């Protein structure tokens, strides 16, 4: 009887399959799969033959991997040109080289301070592969790695060390895609010598980087600038990316985001900002604008450059002090530009993000941004990440076990299989090598890539901070360390690439430009090229007022045609039962057989905008269907064997205009930041971000406070982003009841945004159309309903859409002014709860809805007070607790209209630390109490 063959998992538990032998065994098995059997011991051949027909899953996957490596013709890393190794010693040598590729980064010399170095991996030792020093003279041929020649093992090791244990630490072996991995390996192991012209170019960039910092330090003593001293290699790296992207890949738009460290240096030496303008900012000579402004190291900038005859626009995003908050904003801006272009949009638009090491691993928005980087709706074809790793976070050591739980601050990037290049910032030639690889990788594979520029911070967190008190060891080393420019200039002078006089002239020429307030790099006249590289025109929206707007409604006939068109679904799309009913009801609504509900009126707003040529983008965690199943913008095909898999009727209204409805990743902070960035480059579009529940919007509070609320006042940046925030008390508990209306109102000032609480389908229709059609761009916060989506009282007619407009205040059409002695003011869903209770015997009460809470409709409300001149009691009714909702923020507006004979009261739930109670029965009791009180008080 034949003995049962153990499965592969059992083999792995045997001695010869112990993890320490993995590299050796993989090399042998690699040759076995390729058919190179000459150097394999017969016992191993017999063993591999015995498992070749195995169907065990683990083994099958391994076989597939090796077959891919051997046969895939798309691989450019010369898998098929590997020459047979010289017997067993060659196989062991191959395993050793593979170990260097996998683990050499751990012991690479990447820290210019020499303070951080991980223990050398044991797999890099000869013994780990059955080798010893007596084998060092043995000749081995490892194909391309040895130029297809047999050379001594010692030379193989020397080369592996020079590549993988020098001033660059390459992390890429975890990448799942074999083509990417082999492509990287081929370029990493290219040992071409850098030409003298490139060395001079690097030197010039370092002269500029150090020269600006020294100049500012002398001219503006003690002023904060968050200098780049210690990380000057950032400038040649960034400059190289810009120049090669434009010249080699015809990149037309570079979207750049970074924090404060080195920002002024980038502005002058990469963006081409005139130093004179920067000096005026230091001297407080800001322009006579009404903006409150911001500090100079938060300011954005854009400019135009020509490289090898190709023109490009480079834009540095404005950003707050909140680290990494700008990341998704830059990605959204890049995506918006790409959506406006044709052809290879990923090459035409390149996003670059510059990070700090502590923030990169500490701020969750970095992970959120990586999380959607490969999705269709948010992907931008890869981002180049430059981490300025100065090994300290303000005062805290940036090290494992101190302010991070990973060996490297860049480990978070592994979640998307991004290659990571750790490089010593004091070796600018090494920096240039990884920069070139990073750019080419991004352009070829359209994926993120990370350069970990390991450097230091010569001064404190800012120029007024003394760092040695918290980092004595680090700053003892830094004080003795020559600058990167000093080290590199000495190197080039020693090599004879430049002489001392030439170097002195480079410094003098740069200093002269600063003294004379001249731009330090070649830039284009923006008046000449602006139209060529202008993908969004904000000019029609600058300085506009509400009075500049004349709303033109859509005729009822056109509305009906559009209503029927968005209700058409191809016969081959089999609809789910509830969806089919919703579509059937919409046809009835279009034909006047049913009144319009919220979802259909909203869809009609999109349809009319698309028809008129305005793009529409809606994004949120469940936006296709809608959290409460009201939208059904995406209709899934229940027949999974049929095409199409889904149907989006609104995409066929105007196929020349984009309609995107996106089920986003489960992220608020990152996605809202992305949509804000998108809106900043889409003045002609309706861009909507929808919260699953309004309660979850506070996860994105940084984007709201620093960008949405304040960007126009700080930076002069406009945005028409619309937020849908489901809001209302319905007994669902503290986390499903409130979008924190009070917080938004508390942030309203200087006409910075709009806050609306529409209560009818016609109102949301007109509000969305107004947001795009009028030449005024302000963020719009909409407290959207939940139960009202199906409330039979909350309906509208097609005529109300065709003839009306958005009303900031809705009067009580049934009230007889002469009889009214009590005026109840309210907003939102509570209106319907009140009207359900209000009977004919309350004819002395008029109920008026405030649909727009900011800008507050003071003039319209004054007209209401004039109309109801017999009122002696004014009640503000809200279902939120008294310390929440609108009351505290609008009370002063109402008080200005109440005369001495009138009593002003607020009816609300009692003050509470939470927005709502968690027990449904208690909610019902409270709701009845406030409704009864409002009516009877």
In this structure, the dihedral spanned by the alpha carbons of residues 551, 552, 554 and 555, taken in order and rounded to 10 degrees, is 140
Q: How many CB atoms neighbour CB 108 within 10 A?
A: 24
What confidence tier does 58 reach under pLDDT thresholds 50, 70, 90? very low
pLDDT at 8 over 60: no
- What pLDDT is stored for residue 66 in this prediction? 52
Q: Span 522-529, mean pLDDT?
A: 80
DSSP states of 626-652 as a string? Answer: -TTS----SEE-S-TTSS-SEE-GGGG
Closest CA to 104 of 25, 172, 190: 172
- What pLDDT is stored for residue 549 in this prediction? 78
Classify residue 191 by burial, with Cβ atoms within 10 Å: 0-12, 13-18, 19+: exposed
Residue 763 vs residue 226, higher pLDDT: 763
Phi, psi of 611, rounded to the nearest 5 degrees: -60, -35
Q: Which of 440-449, 471-480, 736-745, 824-833 has the lowest mean pLDDT?
A: 471-480
Q: Span 34-63, mean pLDDT?
A: 63
What confidence tier does 353 reach under pLDDT thresholds 50, 70, 90? very high
- What pLDDT is stored for residue 57 in this prediction? 37
Residue 622 three-state SS = coil
- What pLDDT is stored for residue 32 in this prediction? 77
- What pLDDT is stored for residue 149 in this prediction? 94
Domain boundaries in the chain?
8-165, 196-529, 593-634+654-803, 809-936
Question: Which one of 3.90.1150.10, 1.20.1250.20, 3.20.20.220, 3.40.50.970 gives the CATH number of domain 196-529?
Answer: 3.40.50.970
For residue 310, the cross-strand partners are 307
Q: Span 752-766, mean pLDDT?
A: 98
Please state, in angstroms and rounded to a whole number, the distance separating the CA atoms of residues 461 and 390.
10
pLDDT in tens, 99-140: 999 999 999 999 999 988 778 999 999 999 999 999 999 999
CATH for 809-936 is: 3.40.50.11610
pLDDT at 284 over 90: no
What confidence tier does 19 reach under pLDDT thresholds 50, 70, 90? very low
Helices (H), ranges, 556-710: 556-565, 577-590, 598-611, 669-680, 701-703
What confidence tier does 468 reach under pLDDT thresholds 50, 70, 90? confident
Q: Span 522-535, mean pLDDT?
A: 78
Please state, in angstroms and rounded to a whole number, the distance separating the CA atoms of residues 794 and 728.
15
Q: Supply the pTM of this predicted model.
A: 0.89
pLDDT at 34 over 90: no
What is the average pLDDT value for the chain, to the nearest integer?
90
Phi, psi of 279, rounded to the nearest 5 degrees: -60, -40
What confidence tier does 22 reach under pLDDT thresholds 50, 70, 90? low
- What pLDDT is stored for residue 624 in this prediction? 93
pLDDT at 355 over 80: yes
Q: Span 656-673, mean pLDDT?
A: 96
What confidence tier does 76 reach under pLDDT thresholds 50, 70, 90? very low
- What pLDDT is stored for residue 11 in this prediction? 44
- What pLDDT is stored for residue 475 in this prediction? 81
**Percentage helix, strand, coil, to 5, in the chain?**
45, 15, 40
Same fold flag, 593-634+654-803 and 809-936: yes
pLDDT in tens, 864-919: 999 999 999 999 999 999 999 999 999 999 999 999 999 999 999 999 999 999 99
- What pLDDT is stored for residue 71 in this prediction? 46
CATH for 593-634+654-803 is: 3.40.50.12470
């Amino acid at each position: 009887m034949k003995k049962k063959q153990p499965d592969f998992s059992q083999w792995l538990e045997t001695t010869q399959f112990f993890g320490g032998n993995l590299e050796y065994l993989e090399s042998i098995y690699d040759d076995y799969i390729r058919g190179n059997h000459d150097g394999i011991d017969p016992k191993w051949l017999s063993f591999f033959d015995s498992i070749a027909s195995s169907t065990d899953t683990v083994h099958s996957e391994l076989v597939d991997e090796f077959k891919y490596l051997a046969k895939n013709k798309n691989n450019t890393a010369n898998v098929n040109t590997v020459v047979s190794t010289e017997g067993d010693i060659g196989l062991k040598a191959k395993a050793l080289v593979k170990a260097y590729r996998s683990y050499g980064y751990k012991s690479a010399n990447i820290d210019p301070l020499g303070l951080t170095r991980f223990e050398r991996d044991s797999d890099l030792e000869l013994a780990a592969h059955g080798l010893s020093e007596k084998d060092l003279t043995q000749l081995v041929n490892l194909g391309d790695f040895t130029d297809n020649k047999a050379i001594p093992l010692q030379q193989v090791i020397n080369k592996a060390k020079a590549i993988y244990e020098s001033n660059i630490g390459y992390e890429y072996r975890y990448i799942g895609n074999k083509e990417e991995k082999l492509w990287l390996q081929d370029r990493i192991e290219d040992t071409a010598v850098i030409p003298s012209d490139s060395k001079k170019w690097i030197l010039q960039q370092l002269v500029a980087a150090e020269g600006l910092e020294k100049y500012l330090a002398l001219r503006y003593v003690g002023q904060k600038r968050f200098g780049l001293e210690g990380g000057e290699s950032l400038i040649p790296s960034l400059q190289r990316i810009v120049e090669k992207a434009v010249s080699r890949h015809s990149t037309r738009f570079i979207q750049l985001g970074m924090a404060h460290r080195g920002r002024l240096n980038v502005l002058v030496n990469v963006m081409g900002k005139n130093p004179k303008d920067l000096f005026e900012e230091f001297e407080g000579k800001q322009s006579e604008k009404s903006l409150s402004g911001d500090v100079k190291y938060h300011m954005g900038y854009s400019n135009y450059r020509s490289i090898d005859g190709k023109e490009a626009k480079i834009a540095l995003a404005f950003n707050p002090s909140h680290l990494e908050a700008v990341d998704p904003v830059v990605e959204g801006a890049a995506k918006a530009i790409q959506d406006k272009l044709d052809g290879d949009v990923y090459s035409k638009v390149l996003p670059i993000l510059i990070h700090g090491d502590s923030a990169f691993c500490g701020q969750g928005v970095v992970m959120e941004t990586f999380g959607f980087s490969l999705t269709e709706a948010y992907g931008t074809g890869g981002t180049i990440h430059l981490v300025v790793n100065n090994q300290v976070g303000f005062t805290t050591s940036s090290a494992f076990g101190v302010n991070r739980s990973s060996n490297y601050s860049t480990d978070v990037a592994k979640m998307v299989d991004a290659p990571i290049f750790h490089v010593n910032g004091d070796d600018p030639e090494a920096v240039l090598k990884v920069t070139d690889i990073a750019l080419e990788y991004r352009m070829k594979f359209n994926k993120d890539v990370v350069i970990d520029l390991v450097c230091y911070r010569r001064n404190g967190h800012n120029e007024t901070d003394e760092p040695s008190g918290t980092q004595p060891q680090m700053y003892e080393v830094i004080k003795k360390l020559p600058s990167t420019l000093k080290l590199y200039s000495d190197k080039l002078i020693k090599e004879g690439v430049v002489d001392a006089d030439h170097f002195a002239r480079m410094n003098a020429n740069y200093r002269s430009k600063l003294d004379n307030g001249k731009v330090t790099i070649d830039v284009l006249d923006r008046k000449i090229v602006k139209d060529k590289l202008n993908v969004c025109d904000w000019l029609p929206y600058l300085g506009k007022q509400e009075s500049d707007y004349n709303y033109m409604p859509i005729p009822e006939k056109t509305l009906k045609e559009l209503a029927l068109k968005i209700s058409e679904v191809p016969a081959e799309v089999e609809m789910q039962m509830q969806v089919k009913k919703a579509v059937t009801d919409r046809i009835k609504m279009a034909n006047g057989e049913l009144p319009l509900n919220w979802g259909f009126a909203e869809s009609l707003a999109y349809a009319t905008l698309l028809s008129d040529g305005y793009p529409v983008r809606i994004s949120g965690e469940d936006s296709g269907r809608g959290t409460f199943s009201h939208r059904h913008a995406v209709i899934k095909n229940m027949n999974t064997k049929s095409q199409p898999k889904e149907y989006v009727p609104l995409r066929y209204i105007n196929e020349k205009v984009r309609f995107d409805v996106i089920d986003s990743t489960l992220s608020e902070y990152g996605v809202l930041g992305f949509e804000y960035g998108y809106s900043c480059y889409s003045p002609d579009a309706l861009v909507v971000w929808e919260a699953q529940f309004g309660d979850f919007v506070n996860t994105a509070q940084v984007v709201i406070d620093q960008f949405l609320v304040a960007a126009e006042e700080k930076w002069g940046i406009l945005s028409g982003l619309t937020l849908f925030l489901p809001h209302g008390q319905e007994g669902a508990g503290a986390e499903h009841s409130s979008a924190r209306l009070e917080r938004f109102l508390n942030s309203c000032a200087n006409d910075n945004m709009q806050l609306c609480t529409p209560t009818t389908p016609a109102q949301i229709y007109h509000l969305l159309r107004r947001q795009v059609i009028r030449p005024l761009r302000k963020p719009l916060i909409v407290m959207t309903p939940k139960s009202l989506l199906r409330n039979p009282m909350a309906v509208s007619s097609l005529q109300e859409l065709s003839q009306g407009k958005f009303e900031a205040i809705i009067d009580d059409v049934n009230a007889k002014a002469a009889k009214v002695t009590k005026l109840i003011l309210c907003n939102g869903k509570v209106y319907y709860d009140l009207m359900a209770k209000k009977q004919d015997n309350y004819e002395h009460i008029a109920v008026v809805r405030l649909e727009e809470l900011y800008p507050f409709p003071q003039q319209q409300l004054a007209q209401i007070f004039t109309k109801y001149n017999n009122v002696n009691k004014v009640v503000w009714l809200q279902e939120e607790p008294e310390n929440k909702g609108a009351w505290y923020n609008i009370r002063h507006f109402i008080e200005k209209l109440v005369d001495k004979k009138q009593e002003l009261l607020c009816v609300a739930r009692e003050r509470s630390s939470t927005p709502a109670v968690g027990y449904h029965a208690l909610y019902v009791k409270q709701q009845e109490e406030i409704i009864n009180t409002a009516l009877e008080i």
